[in-house]
Amino acid sequence: MAKGIVQRITMDEVKEKLGKLSLTNQYQVNFSSLNKTISDYLQTLGIDNAKNFLSRDLGLLCSDASLPASAFATGEVKDNFMGIPQEFAHTRLYTDIDFTFYVDEDYTSLNIFEGWMDYISDGADVDPETKNFYRRFRYPDDYKVNTMTITKFEKNLQRTLMYEFKNAFPKSITSLPVTYGTADLLKVTVNFNYDRYVVTRSGSTQPEYSILPLTNS
């Protein structure tokens, strides 16, 4: 019977390793801009400073965020290797991501996302024959953006991971509870959907693309 080998580690080695752990509060969320058509629509709602607010202030108001997750959809083969089932990956899946923002006293952060969602489903009508109410939705190219990023960095402010979300749009906005009890800062959580992300690591000259799966036309 083989004896286990105990690796000897000094306290200095432990301190060195534990002193290099990444912290959760060192990150930055950025929206560099929106599509011009979205910005123009927000102006019609009275949100004139949307472009500057997005690029300068919104990232500072982001109180909670997450680095994105992904997974593989898999299939199973049972006829190989004497009946032992094996899984294989066939599709890369990307999950929605949540960002939580403080709401400023002018409600600009809330109004931008409310306005963005209004733009997606802008227009409603009633069918003259059935009298049914319906909404008109814009084409995805009109409301999806490629300018949303989250960057994870360390104590020395060296950016180590940057995730750029492709074709992102707000999918939902959570309810905002208010109360006559103890006052607290008002926050809004926005759930974003996106097609894929591109991650750029520090020291890398080329981004690593999350490739979309091929589909049969």
For 120-129, the pLDDT digits (tens) are 987 666 777 7
Q: pTM of the prediction?
A: 0.77
What is the C-alpha separation between 196 and 95, in angstroms, rounded?
9
Residue 59 CB neighbour total at 10 angstroms:
20
Please report whether residue 135 resides in a domain: yes
Mean pLDDT, residues 43-52 taken together: 82
Please report whether residue 125 resides in a domain: yes
Please report whether residue 19 resides in a domain: no
CA atoms within 13 A on the CB side of 92: 13
Between 7 and 140, the higher pLDDT residue: 140
Domain count, the chain: 1
What is the C-alpha separation between 40 and 123, in angstroms, rounded?
16
* Amino acid identity at 13: E
- DSSP category for residue 134: E
**pLDDT confidence of residue 2:** 54
For 82-119, the pLDDT digits (tens) are 777 888 899 999 999 999 999 999 899 999 999 999 99
Please report whether residue 4 resides in a domain: no
Between 54 and 73, the higher pLDDT residue: 73
Please report whether residue 8 resides in a domain: no
Please report whether residue 112 resides in a domain: yes
Q: How far is CA 44 from CA 93, 115, 169, 192, in A?
A: 37, 10, 20, 24
Residue 66's nearest CA partner among 44, 95, 86, 105 is 95
Please report whether residue 15 resides in a domain: no
Mean pLDDT, residues 187-197 taken together: 95
Structural domain range at position 110: 25-65+92-143+171-193
Residue 163 CB neighbour total at 10 angstroms:
19
CA 188 to chain centre: 15
Please report whether residue 34 resides in a domain: yes
**pLDDT confidence of residue 213:** 39
